[in-house]
């Protein structure tokens, strides 16, 4: 019996169309747009000016606080503009625009493919390097990784959990990374273990990635303290709390952090980025992005420089199909549709999913028939039908009492609702309002 989390969850069609496409390095575009806010927390502050010549890996925006991250140039060239530019939400946000000239890297970066296994840095040095390299959680939430490595005094981490679940349908970037860069991920995990001072790490991988599991299991013999935990396929197993429950059978109490149950969770992609930052001195300026969809000619996995327009990824995957209804930034469950494909790839872009018109449109919402399917699939044990009604009626006190803030917006409720009610839309609205009420209280 394979492990999984205990309450709720759904089984969307997997559609891992690009699982067998090896990671290709995408050509560097002629122009890049690098937003200064690609993470949760304070936006970074631009430290370059118009006309400056930058190299690959150079810091172009400095972290704007503790919960923030440095931004590095992903290309070499000249800064042409620093202005508000369209981001993935359709709003204009501050970004640095660079015209590409050649591909000149900072000399301090080790560009060879040699695997560096020995970790020479101390725990403190690792944490500092991770912060300097601007590494954020690459699973999609983009929480600055150095914050997660800074364990408060009095707290003890017992186990490091690696998220290789990739429970979102369609997406295969982590799968390919585990298959092709297994060694680097293993060393990255060892680095994270050293930084956190733990001697046990568990990689959670869903069993629909048998090749990755086999590869990691083979490699884990070489590296001490790393276990592979194959998991039953169920969405949203990649949720932090769900993964902890599935792998070590501990429940993170409402409103608390994984640290309270002795666990820290990082994505496997983050582990790879940590390897590159610590062993190769390479900051985070490129990532693997899955470009996929049933109507797309060539579903692929690309290694992409941050700032590359989404349109050039789609072109490389065979061009935008004519009957496209939505281009989704992220997976089909939690991703958001893009209003323009000219927006840039950022650190948190895990995939681009093309949906044909007939699949993309939502069905007409009808009345709630109180079937309670949303209640039974909610992985956080909430009552989505109730929360959405309360949000519409602005019953903020009750929303808070019903733990709306525990909602992680996985969308299982909206996915399962037979009446096609946009439950999550309203819950997110209520969550936003309750969140601001809570913040104003402090």
Phi and psi at 126, nearest 5°, equal -60, -50
d(CA 399, CA 410): 18
Closest to 213 measured CA to CA, from 225, 199, 231, 201: 231
In this chain, which stretch among 59-67, 86-94, 196-204, 224-232 interacts with other proteins, using CB under 8 A?
A: 86-94
436 binds other proteins (CB under 8 A): no
Asked if 429 and 409 touch (Cβ cutoff 8 Å), the reply is no
**Which of 89, 254 has the CB closer to other proteins?**
89
254 touching other proteins, by CB under 8 A? no
Mention every residue, 6+ apart, whose C-beta is less than 8 A from residue 213.
Answer: 205, 207, 228, 230
Instruction: Give min distance, CB of 19 to other proteins, in A.
Output: 30
Among 20, 30, 260, 340, the residue binding other proteins under the rule CB under 8 A is: 340
Q: Which residue has the tokens 């309450």?
A: 7
Closest contact distance (angstroms) between CB of 87 and other proteins is 9
CA torsion angle for 437, 378, 159, 131 (degrees, to 10)?
A: -50
Determine which residue in the list 362, 370, 439, 441 makes contact with other proteins, applying CB under 8 A. Answer: 362
Sole binder of other proteins in the list 342, 432, 435, 438 (CB under 8 A):
432
The answer to whether 336 contacts other proteins (rule: CB under 8 A) is yes
Of residues 102 and 432, the one with the C-beta less far from other proteins: 432
Residue closer to other proteins by CB (options 56, 424) is 424
Q: d(Cα 329, Cα 341) in Å, to the nearest integer? A: 10
The reply to whether 361 sits near other proteins by the rule CB under 8 A is yes
Residues 304-333 within binding reach of other proteins (CB under 8 A): none
Residue among 1, 91, 118, 152 that touches other proteins (CB under 8 A): 91
Q: Is 393 in the site for other proteins (CB under 8 A)?
A: no
Kindly list the distances between the CA atom of residue 27 and the CA atoms of 24, 97, 286, in Å, as whole numbers in the listed order.
9, 18, 12
Whole-Å CA distances, 241 to 30, 158, 163, 184, 213 = 41, 16, 11, 26, 22
Question: Residue 219 or 429: which CB sits closer to other proteins?
Answer: 429
Please report, as ranges, the residues that interact with other proteins according to CB under 8 A: 84, 89-92, 336-337, 339-340, 361-362, 392, 422, 425-426, 428-429, 432
């Amino acid at each position: 019996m394979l492990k999984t989390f205990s309450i709720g969850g759904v089984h969307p069609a997997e559609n891992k169309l690009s699982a067998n496409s090896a990671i290709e390095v995408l050509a560097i575009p002629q122009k890049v747009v690098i937003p200064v806010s690609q993470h949760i927390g304070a936006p970074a502050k631009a430290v370059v000016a118009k006309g400056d010549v930058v190299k690959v890996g150079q810091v172009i925006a400095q972290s704007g606080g503790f919960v923030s991250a440095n931004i590095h140039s992903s290309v070499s060239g000249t800064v042409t503009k620093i202005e508000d530019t369209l981001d993935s939400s359709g709003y204009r946000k501050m970004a640095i625009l660079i015209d590409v000239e050649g591909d000149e890297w900072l000399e301090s970066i080790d560009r060879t493919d040699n695997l560096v296994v020995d970790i020479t840095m101390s725990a403190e040095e690792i944490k500092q390097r991770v912060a300097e390299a601007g590494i954020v959680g690459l699973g999609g939430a983009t929480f600055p990784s150095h914050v997660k490595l800074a364990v408060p005094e009095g707290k003890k981490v017992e186990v490091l959990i690696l998220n290789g679940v990739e429970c979102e349908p369609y997406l295969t970037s982590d799968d390919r990374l585990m298959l092709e860069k297994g060694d680097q991920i293993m060393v990255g995990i060892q680095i994270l273990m050293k930084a956190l001072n733990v001697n046990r790490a568990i990689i959670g991988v869903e069993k629909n990635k048998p090749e990755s599991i086999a590869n990691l299991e083979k490699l884990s013999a070489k590296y001490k303290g790393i276990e592979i935990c194959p998991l039953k396929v169920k969405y949203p197993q990649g949720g932090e709390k769900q993964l902890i429950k599935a792998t070590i059978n501990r429940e993170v109490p409402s409103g608390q952090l994984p640290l309270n149950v002795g666990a820290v969770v990082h994505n496997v992609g983050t582990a790879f980025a940590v390897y590159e930052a610590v062993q190769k001195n390479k900051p985070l300026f490129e990532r693997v992005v899955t470009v996929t969809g049933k109507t797309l000619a060539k579903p692929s996995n690309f290694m992409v420089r941050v700032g590359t327009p989404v349109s050039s990824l789609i072109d490389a995957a065979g061009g935008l199909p004519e009957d496209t209804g939505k281009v989704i930034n992220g997976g089909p469950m939690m991703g958001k549709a893009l209003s323009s494909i000219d927006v840039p790839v950022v650190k948190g872009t895990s995939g681009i999913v093309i949906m044909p018109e007939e699949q993309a449109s939502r069905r007409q919402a009808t009345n709630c028939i109180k079937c309670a399917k949303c209640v039974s699939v909610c992985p956080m044990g909430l009552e989505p039908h109730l929360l959405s009604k309360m949000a519409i009626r602005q019953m903020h006190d009750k929303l808070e009492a019903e733990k709306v803030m525990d909602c992680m917006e996985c969308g299982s409720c909206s996915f399962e609702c037979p009446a096609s009610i946009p439950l999550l839309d309203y819950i997110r609205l209520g969550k936003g309002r309750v969140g601001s009420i809570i913040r104003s209280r402090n």
